[in-house]
């Protein structure tokens, strides 16, 4: 049964991601067609074609490798400039015949020429007014931004639904001074998971008679409304006397005890221990903050900052994964994962018996939303072959033409993105390698959920 639920989680995640990819490509195709562009292909996946159907001038289909998708918009690359003639002859009528050839000297020049030739092999004379590169710059921006914007909107609607109904897992409310746990004895921090023995000293809270559900109103005459302030007072009390007022069943009770001094962590690392006053109670989690669309926008703004930082350190994080694969270091549980890793996490979440169904559903939704948000942000990076590279080209075209008009100079024409293809191929190669490293890492040293 566990294996069945694991498979269910993987299928749910994979289906959601494929649906997101399909919607991403629709975000490109719909405005492209709306602006009169010619779209010849709409495919989900890469590699060999599994299924396709021609509808009008567009072929819709699915390919074998479900790691992305693409829309073929005719005329992405403008034609190259005609270079100087290098051969002049005279025909039988005495007219000059000029033979023109394009210079293909150099690997990069040849690469650009080949890509341009492949692009224009499919263009027919009647397509002249429907070519992508001839669109107004703002139309190009809308077409290329449509895909990643769809991913961000998917993330927004999922986040908004979860934040409004369940709450934000990343934004918990402060701890409440309502007692959730009373320990029986004082144990060293390194032995906190073992049972008490007869030789262990009784915890001060236990000796005072504090019970689960009590709200601590004051400590040594100082009133408190937050756990953080109360905790500071307890720790500063060392082994001194403690008069504690608690609220229980609508009544206030005054209890007395002495805190004891023990080593406790002052940060998230167990190695950082300090001798502090100890009472022996744990607070109640204050719940999760909730909110509507404005709250969601605010939270996504914070996510954007975190994502930009994560994108800047992505190559280093992928290198860390590569080191984990060969056993040099442990895999960072908070590091990047591929779609394969996301599927494994989804499967483990659904098959984990300790998680209630509601928490499983929320976790899956947040996982899907997180992937969509990252995919959207990633595609806005201003480098070809990503969507952001085409957006940057369109914006540069607008700036260049605007400056020419202001200076009274001739129109400089369309931006030739084909000249950036060598960079695009380098970026694509790097992305391919990083993707392969993450996939291998997710198979060899996977990130697992904490149960």
**Which of 53-57, 377-381, 411-415 is least confident?**
411-415
Centre a 10 Å sphere on the Cβ of residue 54 and count the other Cβ atoms it contains. Answer: 10
Overall average pLDDT of the 4-15 stretch: 92
pLDDT at 317 over 90: yes
Q: How far apart are CA 286 and CA 309, in angstroms?
A: 30
pLDDT beyond 90 at 18: yes
Distance of alpha carbon 179 from its chain centroid, rounded?
Answer: 37
pLDDT of residue 68: 87
For residue 267, what pLDDT is reported? 59
- Determine the angle formed by the axes of helices 421-444 and 107-121, rounding to 10 degrees: 90
Bridge partners for 436 per DSSP = none
State how far the Cα of 235 lies from the Cα of 247, in Å rounded to an integer. Answer: 22
Q: What integer pLDDT is reported at residue 146 of this predicted model?
A: 96
Tell which wins on pLDDT, 355 or 381: 381
Phi, psi of 60 (to 5 degrees): -105, 140
25 flagged as catalytic? yes
Report residue 218: phi and psi, to 5°: -150, 160
- What pairing do the DSSP bridges indicate for beta strands 96-99 and 87-90? antiparallel
Contact 266, 190 (CB under 8 A): no
User: At 9, is the pLDDT very low, low, confident or very high (cuts 50, 70, 90)?
Assistant: very high
**Band of the pLDDT at 85, cuts 50, 70, 90?**
very low
Task: Give the pLDDT confidence score for residue 49 in this predicted structure.
Answer: 93
Residues 69-82: what's their mean pLDDT?
A: 82
> Which of 92-101, 193-202, 306-315 tops mean pLDDT?
306-315
The mean-pLDDT minimum among 106-115, 174-183, 361-370 falls in 106-115
Whole-number average pLDDT of the chain = 87
Q: What local confidence, expressed as pLDDT, does residue 108 receive?
A: 59
Architecture of the CATH domain 176-284: Roll (2.30)
**More confident call, 199 vs 399:** 399
205 and 183 Cβ atoms separated by less than 8 Å: yes
Contact 377, 307 (CB under 8 A): yes
Residue 274: what pLDDT? 85
Mean local confidence (pLDDT), 362-371: 95
58-73 and 176-182: which strand pairing? unpaired
Q: Residue 111's pLDDT is what?
A: 66
Write down the pTM of the prediction: 0.80
CA 372 vs. chain centroid, Å, equals: 7
Q: Is the pLDDT of residue 60 over 80?
A: yes
Residue percentage of the chain with pLDDT more than 90: 58
Q: How far apart are the first and last CA of the chain?
A: 18
- If one compares 5 and 102, the residue with the highest pLDDT of the two is 5
Q: Give, in order, the Cα–Cα distances in Å from 200 to each of 183, 184, 270, 286, 407.
A: 12, 9, 21, 31, 85
Share of residues in the chain with pLDDT > 70 (%): 91
Measured distance CA(202)–CA(177) in Å, rounded = 21
List all residues 6 or more positions away from 245 whose beta carbon is below 8 Å from its beta carbon: 216, 217, 218, 252, 253, 254, 255
CA-to-CA distance for 30 and 37, rounded, in angstroms?
10
Which tokens hold the place of 44?
């989900």
Helix (H, G, I), strand (E, B) or coil at 89: strand
Q: CA 162, CA 153: separation in Å to the nearest integer?
A: 14
**Which DSSP string corresponds to 372-417?**
HHHHHHHHTSSSTTSHHHHHHHHHHHHHHHHHHHHHTPPP-----G
Nearest to 20 by CA among 169, 159, 149: 149
Long-range contacts at 23-27 (CB < 8 A, ≥ 24 apart) = 23/150, 23/151, 23/154, 24/69, 24/147, 24/148, 24/150, 24/151, 24/375, 25/69, 25/70, 25/71, 25/147, 26/150, 27/146, 27/147, 27/148, 27/149, 27/150, 27/151
Which of these, 392, 365, 381, lies nearest to 434 by C-alpha position?
Answer: 381
Summarize the chain as % helix, strand, coil (round to 5).
Answer: 50, 20, 30
- Asked if residues 179 and 281 have their Cβ atoms less than 8 Å apart, the reply is yes
Report which secondary-structure segment, H or E, holds 52: strand 39-55
pLDDT tens for each residue of 208-258: 999 999 999 999 988 987 888 888 999 999 889 999 999 999 899 999 999
Instruction: Tell me, rounded to whole angstroms, the distance of Cα 417 from its chain centroid.
Output: 28
pLDDT tens digits, 166-221: 999 888 888 888 999 899 998 887 776 788 888 889 999 999 999 999 999 999 98
Position 107 scores a pLDDT of 57
- Whether residue 281 is predicted with pLDDT greater than 50 in this model: the reply is yes
Domain boundaries in the chain? 123-173+289-451, 176-284
Spatial separation of the C-alpha atoms in residues 364 and 13, rounded to whole Å: 7
pLDDT per position as a tens digit, 134-169: 999 999 999 999 999 999 999 999 999 999 999 998
The reported pLDDT for the residue numbered 379 is: 94
Q: Which residues contact 40 (CB under 8 A, 6 or more apart)?
A: 57, 58, 59, 72, 74, 122
- Angle of helix 339-351 relative to helix 357-379, nearest 10 degrees? 170
């Amino acid at each position: 049964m566990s294996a069945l639920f694991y498979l269910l989680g993987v299928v749910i995640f994979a289906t959601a991601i494929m649906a997101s990819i399909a919607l991403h490509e629709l975000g490109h195709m719909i405005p492209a067609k709306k602006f009169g562009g010619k779209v010849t292909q709409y495919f989900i996946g890469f590699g060999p074609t599994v299924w396709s159907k021609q509808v009008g001038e567009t072929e819709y289909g699915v390919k074998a490798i479900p790691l992305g998708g693409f829309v073929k918009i005719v005329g992405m690359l403008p034609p190259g400039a005609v270079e100087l003639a290098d051969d002049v002859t005279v025909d039988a009528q005495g007219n000059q015949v000029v033979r023109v050839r394009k210079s293909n000297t150099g690997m990069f020049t040849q690469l650009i020429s080949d890509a341009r030739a492949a692009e224009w092999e499919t263009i027919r004379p009647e397509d002249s007014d429907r070519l992508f590169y001839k669109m107004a710059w703002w139309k190009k921006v809308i077409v290329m931004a449509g895909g990643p914007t769809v991913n961000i909107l998917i993330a927004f609607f999922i986040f908004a639904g979860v934040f409004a109904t369940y709450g934000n897992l990343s934004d918990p409310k402060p701890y409440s001074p309502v007692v959730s746990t009373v320990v029986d004895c004082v144990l060293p921090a390194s032995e906190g998971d073992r049972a008490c023995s007869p030789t262990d000293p009784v915890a001060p809270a236990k000796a005072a008679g504090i019970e689960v559900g009590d709200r601590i109103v004051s400590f040594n005459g100082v009133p408190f409304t937050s756990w953080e302030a109360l905790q500071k007072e307890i720790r500063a009390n060392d082994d001194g006397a403690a008069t504690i007022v608690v609220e229980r069943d609508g009544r206030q009770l005054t209890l007395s005890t002495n805190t004891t001094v023990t080593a406790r962590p002052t940060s998230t690392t167990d190695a950082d221990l300090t001798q502090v006053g100890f009472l022996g109670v744990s607070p109640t989690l204050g719940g999760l903050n909730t909110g509507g669309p404005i709250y969601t926008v605010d939270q996504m703004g914070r996510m954007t900052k975190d994502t930009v930082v994560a994108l800047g350190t992505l190559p280093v994080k992928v290198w860390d994964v590569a080191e984990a694969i060969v056993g040099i270091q442990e895999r960072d549980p908070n590091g990047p994962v591929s779609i394969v890793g996301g599927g494994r996490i989804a499967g483990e979440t659904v098959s984990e018996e300790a998680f209630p169904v509601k928490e499983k559903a929320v976790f899956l939704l947040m996982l899907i939303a997180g992937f969509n948000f990252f995919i959207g942000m990633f595609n806005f990076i201003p480098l070809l072959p990503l969507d952001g590279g085409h957006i940057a080209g369109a914006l540069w075209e607008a700036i260049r033409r605007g400056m020419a008009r202001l200076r009274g100079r001739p129109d400089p024409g369309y931006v030739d993105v084909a000249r950036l293809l060598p960079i695009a191929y380098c970026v694509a190669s790097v992305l391919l390698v990083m993707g392969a490293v993450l996939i291998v890492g997710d198979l060899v040293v996977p990130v697992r959920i904490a149960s």
